[in-house]
Amino acid sequence: MALELQVEKKLREFTLDVSFSAAEEPLAILGPSGAGKTMLLRCIAGLERPDRGRIVLNGRGLYDSGRRADVPPSGRRIGLLFQQYALFPHRTVAENIAFGLAGHPAGGREARVAELVKRAHLEGLEARHPGELSGGEQQRTALARALAIEPEALLLDEPLSALDTHLRSQVEILLQETFAKYRRPAILVTHNMEEAYRLCSRLVVLSRGHVAAAGEKEAIFRHPPTLEVARLTGCKNFSRARVVADHIVEATDWGCRLRVEQPLARPPAYVGIRAHHIGFAEAPAPGSSAENTFPCRLLNSSETPFRMTLFLRLENGPGEPGAPHLQVEIFKEKWERLRASPQPWHVQLSPESLFLVAE
Amino acid sequence: MPMDWSPLWISLATSVCATAITLVAGLAAAAWRERRRGPAIAIVDGVLVLPLVLPPTVLGFLLLLLFGRNGPLGKLLLAFGATVVFSWPATVIAASVVAFPLMYITARAALEQVDPRFYEAARTLGAPEWRVLREVVFPLAWPGILAGTILSFARALGEFGATLMLAGDIPGKTETIPLAIYFAVEADEFRRAAAWCGVDIAISIVLLGGLYYWTHAQGPGRLRWARR
């Protein structure tokens, strides 16, 4: 079971030029809005025609510009979940789910609908119209409808973005169950990196139509290959970097020298660290200095229910006095202890959390 | 003199047949038009809407050229031993041509209102195009299609000029209500003309009232989802 694709399509602001393959484990396409994610899904489903390329699903050529092959969407057997569900408003939940089962014998059809209703936890809602359902129920109906045709691949376009937090986790669980049971290529498009990380094992990072990174999610999050990917995967802190010695870089925007764990394969352009990887240390004894630990002052902070985001300025750092150097995320408990201690505080940028990226 | 009711039945039969024809033709043309773009389509569009702006006499004249003894369609039909001119089918043809643009324009507007994602979803679910139209697009567009149908019926019922030129005024055969009124006035039978006017106004009020009821004031029923 595999979906292989190589797609080129000129869009208004850039050219979508993407190639990757998806096997049985779910794959997330992560990218900011306007990166071409939805267009890519539409090309795979056959709703848009690429300018050039090849789409092959389980050995079946769906599109091939060289051989002028182009299977219409109705013949592709690809389940597509639309961002706004696109449930037929004039049909009930059961009728929506049964839409793709037109070829089945009547008796088998009813049993199949009942099974799908059960799996999507929609019991009791069969006779309702989509307008009478909550967002989560609509999304579950759309998923059941897409799965009814036993698609050979499943495409999900921002399946959670229109839901509020509570419904989101419900639908997320259903998606996890579906992926676990389904074992066919599944592609989830999202701009939310946490969603991508929780639901999928493999990741393709898309930026302005091209693949910025592809691979196992852990590897991409731990060592983003480029500055762009680091930003897209949510990293907030960067400084230009210059190699000083083996495992030592000079962070010119922060005005400090840092020891890094990561080997220096090629000259790095930037050193970065994630906001929640930054720690705080006790003030070192006068005259001595601790590794990768620097005095800093608090410029600003913002509060969420369980965490604090702190904007810090390194005491010896360069640049405008009011501009923060680092953004740090800490839990409230730690914040309570930290705020009680006198400034300057001491941030610790541990060598194993620092990563180096190319331009 | 006892009232001859034949114009009423001829008018109703003509309008029903003409509406059925325009419904099918108008929907097919609108569905075909929905999928196409470009300058050539604008010309096709113009030709299809032309009967709305041309004087009915011009249409009647063109239809005579088309269906007359020496016209292309007239000759073809003559080969099967049929003549259209001055027969009841001529009233249907004239009414259909005149009513067609109303159906076409309304149906096109109704189809354009349907969110493309609905038919895209239907396609990804394996539905062939005829099923997408029949089960998704038409049901979603049906308030507009219904409005077009009623407007077409009303227009067919009121058709005069083209009918007179193509079908003539043969009492009991091609004499519809509008023709009956005209010839009653010409023969100084004002009471008969007034009676037919009353019938025509009554039918129109019922039709337009029905249109309003179906599209706006209907209680919880088939339109329930459409109001959300």
Domain-embedded: residue B185: no
Q: How many CB atoms lie within 10 A of CB B120?
A: 21
User: Residue written as tokens 């060289």?
Assistant: A66
Among A227, A317, A324, smallest CA distance to A269 is for A227
Contact with chain B for residue A145, Cβ under 8 A: yes
Q: What's the confidence (pLDDT) of residue B226?
A: 47
Q: What is the domain partition of chain A in residue ranges?
A: 3-223, 235-357
Contacts for B82 with CB less than 8 Å, ≥ 6 apart: none
What share of chain A has pLDDT > 70, as a percent? Answer: 99
Contacts of A82 in chain B (CB under 8 A): 117, 120-121
**pLDDT tens column, A79-124:** 999 988 999 999 999 999 999 998 888 778 899 999 999 999 999 9
Could you tell me which chain B residue has the CA closest to the CA of A149?
B125
Packed helices B6-34 and B138-158: angle between N→C axes, nearest 10 degrees: 140
**Alpha-carbon gap, residue A184 to A153, rounded angstroms:** 6
Contacts of A143 in chain B (CB under 8 A): none
pTM: 0.81
Range of the domain at B16: 6-176
* Mean pLDDT of the region A3-14: 93
* Mean pLDDT of the region A19-36: 90
We report the CATH number of the domain holding residue B46 as 1.10.3720.10
Q: What's the confidence (pLDDT) of residue A265?
A: 64
Domain-embedded: residue B90: yes
| Neighbour-count burial of A21, counting CB atoms closer than 10 A to its CB (0-12 exposed, 13-18 middle, 19+ buried) | middle
Interface of B with A (CB under 8 A): 115, 117-118, 120-129, 131, 135-136, 139-140, 224-226, 228
Q: Classify domain A3-223 by CATH architecture.
A: 3-Layer(aba) Sandwich (3.40)
Among A354, A349, A355, A351, smallest CA distance to A295 is for A349
**Alpha-carbon gap, residue B63 to A71, rounded angstroms:** 44
At residue B219 the predicted structure's pLDDT band, cuts being 50, 70 and 90, is: very low
**Alpha-carbon gap, residue A155 to A28, rounded angstroms:** 10
Closest CB to A80: pick one of B124, B224, B225: B124
> Does A82 contact B125 at a Cβ distance shorter than 8 Å?
no
Domain-embedded: residue B47: yes
Among A159, A221, A212, smallest CA distance to A186 is for A159
Picking from A57, A82, A99 by the largest number of B CB atoms within 10 A of its own CB, the best residue to mutate is A99
Q: What is the count of structural domains for chain B?
A: 1
Contacts across the A-B interface (CB distance below 8 Å): 71
Packed helices B6-34 and B177-186: angle between N→C axes, nearest 10 degrees: 130
Using DSSP's 3-state secondary structure scheme, residue B12 falls into helix
Could you tell me which chain B residue has the CA closest to the CA of A46?
B124
**Alpha-carbon gap, residue A63 to A71, rounded angstroms:** 6
**pLDDT tens column, A237-296:** 999 998 888 888 999 999 999 999 887 767 778 999 999 899 998 877 777 778 899 999
Closest CB to A73: pick one of B124, B135, B224: B124
**What mean pLDDT value characterizes chain B?**
89
**pLDDT tens column, A320-329:** 888 899 999 9
**What mean pLDDT value characterizes chain A?**
90
Residue B60 sits at φ, ψ, to 5 deg, of -60, -40
Contact with chain B for residue A148, Cβ under 8 A: yes
Domain-embedded: residue B133: yes
Contact with chain B for residue A129, Cβ under 8 A: yes
**Alpha-carbon gap, residue B130 to B22, rounded angstroms:** 19
Say if residue A344 is preceded by a cis peptide, omega within 30 of 0: yes
